[in-house]
Amino acid sequence: MKITIIFPARSLETARPSFTVMPLALTLLAALTPDEHEVSLVDMFMGDQVDYESDVDLVAITVRTPLAVVAYEIADNFLKRGKKVVLGGPHMFAFPAEAKQHASAVAVGEAENLWRVILEDAVRDELKDFYVCGPYEEQTLPGRVHHEKQRPDLKNLPMMRRDLLPRKRYFMDSIFTTRGCPNHCRFCPVTDIFGPKIRHRPIDDVVAEVDTLGKRYFNVDDSVFGHPQMVDRPQENRYYLDLYRELARLRPKRLWSGAGGLSAINYKDGRKILELAAESGLYSIAAGLESISAEGQKQSGAWRKLHYKSPDSFDLQQTKDNIRAIQSLGIEVMGFFIIGWDEDTPETYRRTLEFCDECNIVPFIFTLIPMPGSQIYREYVQQGRIFPDSTWDQFGGGYIVYQHPTMTAQEMFDLNAEVMLKGYSLGRIFKRTFQAMRYRFSPDVAAGSFFTQLGLRKVYRQLYGQVPRPPQQ
Ligand code: SF4
């Protein structure tokens, strides 16, 4: 069969591809495709066009919620032309029946155990309606279901097919080393999608793969230092210690970035893991702090991943100390915050930016998006707080899609715009770049930090300056 795998994007995304990471979903699915098939990849984010007139037999589209509308349009166009269409990706987990209206088949869950079965069924013209991997109440699915109950164990995965995309156009490659997250943050569907148990790829496989990558890569794991709940398990720590020791030996050494918790620095072995990670090329981490208040920690559920025993024991000074300790190892910290928890006020936006300024962290301050599949989404739907006229493409930032108890949607939008436009003023970008240079004296890292921030400045200026205003209450 001729197969096309599509990463959809809207004109909003294609207009601002500045900090670009090669999409893992496409290259992984292509790698899982048996040799007898011919595969092509379309990354619309980078401006690739969809060819509806091609003689392709099967089209697979990966769907994230903000891109569901455009993904469905593409799928409908191919269905009209008599092509088989398979939809997969995180949005399927929450809305498989909705997706089925636009597809020959819908894949729910991880692809490793499903893709080969889907292709075999497609060749025989016997596609089922749903293909599901992992625990799932399959009786909720309206149609014929193929269910693989076990999640993939991540051993013996084929090498990603990065050769199918023009490597040079991406700022970074991407890899993953683990899947699963035990934290169950209330705003995030990852624990449900990948399960609470952490699965690791074999270290040799990861190192061999990194050895094929370009100069920089992004590790898409939920935490590159492990999860605090696991820290007393020596085997868990061993994985990271061994992995980074091996990666540090690679030549040329790659620079890399990923998502990590701040608390690793406080536990036994954690500091060593951080040091080895820095030595292996880790130069920046995305840290999901989510809130600077105990109440925000409670409502987001983030306190667990920050390694507090309860939300009330959240300690802002400790968080600042952790940030400084990580920066002192030469690792730049990017702080991710969600504002719009019930107790938040306009001051929360401003205080959060002040906190970022004080700690010299790159600010990612966003108003809450109750993402389908998350606990918060289910609660807000039940409470009737999601604006009924919200469309999926408004679940990607730049819109307010739910009712806050005290702030209006317009107010939250304006406050978010205020702090993000201020947060990426040229003065702040220069200051943070200078600091990044102090953490690690590397022109390469400083240039990366500067141009990434400049790219983000462009993104936020577009997001908060040009897109239509959010729905009004
Ligand atoms: S936000 Fe991060 S730590 Fe929390 S559930 Fe999602 S992936 Fe896990």
In tens, the pLDDT along 318-336 reads 999 999 999 999 999 999 9
Q: How confident is the model at residue 14 (pLDDT cuts 50, 70, 90)?
A: low
* Nearest CA-CA partner of 3 in 114, 100, 110, 122: 122
Q: Report pLDDT for 469.
A: 45
Ligand 1 site-directed mutation target among 191, 304, 307, most atoms within 8 Å of CB: 191
Residues with CB under 6 A from ligand 1: 181, 183-185, 188, 190-191, 222, 288, 305
* Distance of CA 372 from the midpoint of ligand 1 (Å): 14
Is a pLDDT exceeding 50 seen at residue 467? Answer: no
Q: Report pLDDT for 230.
A: 63
The span from the CA of 356 to the CA of 320, in Å, is 10
* Distance of CA 227 from the midpoint of ligand 1 (Å): 10
Q: How confident is the model at residue 227 (pLDDT cuts 50, 70, 90)?
A: confident
- For the chain, the average pLDDT equals 93
The span from the CA of 347 to the CA of 137, in Å, is 43
In tens, the pLDDT along 72-106 reads 999 999 999 999 999 999 999 999 999 999 999 99
Is a pLDDT exceeding 60 seen at residue 468? Answer: no
Is a pLDDT exceeding 60 seen at residue 361? Answer: yes
User: How many other CB atoms sit within 10 Å of the CB of residue 137?
Assistant: 7
User: How many other CB atoms sit within 10 Å of the CB of residue 153?
Assistant: 13
* Distance of CA 298 from the midpoint of ligand 1 (Å): 14
Which residues on adjacent β-strands are paired with residue 130? 106, 145
Average of per-residue pLDDT across 139-143? 95
Q: Report pLDDT for 421.
A: 94
Cβ atoms 333, 265 nearer than 8 A? no
Retrieve residue 65's tokens: 């919620």
Q: How confident is the model at residue 232 (pLDDT cuts 50, 70, 90)?
A: low
Ligand 1 site-directed mutation target among 181, 262, 297, most atoms within 8 Å of CB: 181
For residue 261, which atom of ligand 1 is closest to its CA? Answer: 3
Helix, strand, or coil here: 270?
A: helix
The span from the CA of 111 to the CA of 116, in Å, is 9
The span from the CA of 92 to the CA of 98, in Å, is 8
Ligand 1 site-directed mutation target among 93, 185, 376, most atoms within 8 Å of CB: 185
Which residue in this structure is represented by tokens 């939008």?
413
* Distance of CA 371 from the midpoint of ligand 1 (Å): 13
The span from the CA of 92 to the CA of 101, in Å, is 12
* Nearest CA-CA partner of 59 in 113, 1, 13: 1
Is a pLDDT exceeding 50 seen at residue 473? Answer: no
Which domains does the chain possess? 2-148 (3.40.50), 172-465 (3.80.30.20)
In tens, the pLDDT along 29-64 reads 999 999 999 999 999 999 999 999 999 999 999 999
For residue 184, which atom of ligand 1 is closest to its CA? Answer: 5
Return the amino acid letter for 97: A
The span from the CA of 243 to the CA of 218, in Å, is 15
The span from the CA of 437 to the CA of 457, in Å, is 20
Ligand 1 site-directed mutation target among 192, 305, 308, 371, most atoms within 8 Å of CB: 305
